Structure 1
Amino acid sequence: MLPDSVGFEQRLARQRSALDVLDVTATAVLRRVPADVWCTVLIDPSTLLDTGGQNEAGFSPEYLPRLFEIEHVEADDPGNLRELANGASTTSLLSRATVGNIHSSKYYQDILRPQGLGDELRVALRDGPHVWGLLVMCREHGAAPFTDADEAAAARLGRPATAALRRSLLLSGVDTGAVPDAPGLVVVDREGTARSMSPTARTWLELLQDGSPEHARPLRAVAAAALASGMARSRALTRSGRWVALQAWSMGQEEEGLVAVSLSPPEPGELTAVILGAYGLSERERQITQHVMRGHSTTQIAGRLNISPHTVQDHLKSVFAKTGLGSRRALVADIFFRHYLPHFGEGPLSTDGRRLAG
């Protein structure tokens, strides 16, 4: 454990804004892993598209359109975000992703080299398959390379930062009830009584098998466990037999005795982003589109959804017909440039960080 990791986690616990969590994380990482250029990014876990961040110490603005194009539209360069999200590690080095041939990367050629930069270290703030944020760090060309120790230190700090970022989105995200499959938030006191709850949380609690929304037993149980250990998880059945996941966090010394609890489907990575509903896609078409957004191949999609590759292709043909787009690349580009880039960093976001339909 790093010498002041406890202090770092305490600083994280005091943050209520997702951007503040990213700033505290970047400060802590940069103290151990110096970089000449760096930026932080909020990620929509449903689509892996950018929803905001901090770029004051990052790339020059004139390079950002091409960066977005490489990252989200072409999405085929070694070490890209989707490759990192689908891999085993939460960190990546461009030099390693290119097997030592960094000059073969168009990201290096078009973004890094023109700005006098060399290698790049990325740290994904990821909980399982769900990426909530990204820290990007670069050093000038000719500077000392990032080391294994640098990467390990960044990864260690990324773990508590991920939990804090997820919590901050729950505490500050917009929840109007417009995202029926998104997590809802409840604040519970020491006695297990709900002090406040978002519209989506009330919807979930009303579906549970026992107790009123304000006194549901699963809610009280997970809140009590979080008070004892700082964080707790559980699942509960609805009256229809569907599972609901509950995740609880103690809200810290400033609000002693209060616990934040989120309620959501057990697999938030499979949630359908509301924005896809604007295209009139069926449930299966939206599932497949979301996998496309995450960079999954036809074979991978077929395996994850337990359908044949031929069926996947048939659904994709329907998606292309409904959207008026002719390829996966065009689909990702249309969603990003039409629905994300115009509102980059401005919100509104759902309670789990997803872009809400405008």
Structure 2
Amino acid sequence: MPPVPLSVAHAARKAAAQVETLPDLGGALTRQLHRLVPHDGYMLSGQDPVTGAGCFLIEHHGYSCAHFRRLKTAGLFDQRPHPSRRPTAAPATAVVLNVAVAAPQGGAALLESMDMDGWGSELRLRLVDRAAHWGTLVLLRERGRPLFSQADIDSARQIAAPLAASLREYVARARPRPLPATMPPGVLVLDGNDAIASATPTARHWLRMCFPSSALDTDEDLSLSLWNFAAAARRQDDPVLSRIPTRHGFAALQAQQLAGARPGEVAITVQAATTGQLLPAVAAWYSLTPRERTVIEHVLEGRSGKQISRSLELSQYTVNDHLKAIYRKIRVNGRDELAATLSC
């Protein structure tokens, strides 16, 4: 396979350093990718690097809400990938669906819905870099246009790592602070059919803050935006957790199946991320080493450099080196600023 075109990779990384919003990031990255793989629409989803749950979605001329309603009616949501408790960083893979080609098992309804939406071909690319899966990019071509080919797959795989790095660097560009808790947590209960059974007044406000580029005008829109969390919660005992980056800090979304007379009910809670929730994701997004994360935990407990040195059986010089690396990665100037940034 030929090397990644340096101009495309460089432009993608440069775009991540300059744009202001997630929609701007999606547009900038896909404009660069368009030079290698022409497309008519896209959907870019980010993934919590620790739990594998989704943490944002950007789209332009992507699938319509009607498409997802059709998939839900056909029962295909339960067949789609769900967040993994321990996400793996398999090599960047690209999968193509073409309406003119026989569907995979159970996929006839999916291809029919694509066709009804006006799409003839989909290319789905895993964004993998630094031994982690950071998100998924879906490229779409309109019906009547050339289908995605093997050459398109090869080109997309070449740029997957630079795109993943650009996504990670965009999130890590700002200091990793919890979102200010300006209102009570938002809580929704989804029934076994993913319809909203009840919700607090603040729930919609929290979700709009977390997913500003999504249309959340109706209860059905809300339930469609949360189906993957609900489906994952029904498949595992532990709550599904996603740390969601917003312009003002990180929020935490948790989904957990309820025990009771009505099977399949799931509670969704959205609120400002706590320090304990935030730190594991920060370690991934900001490329902290396991030792650097441990040093941060000691700093947040209020321990001095000497106390950290004794506890970890390290020289104070080594602890100071770790602290300097942490300050550089998280973009703070010292211990006090580090503690203030990560604390609720």
TM-score, normalisation: structure 2: 0.48
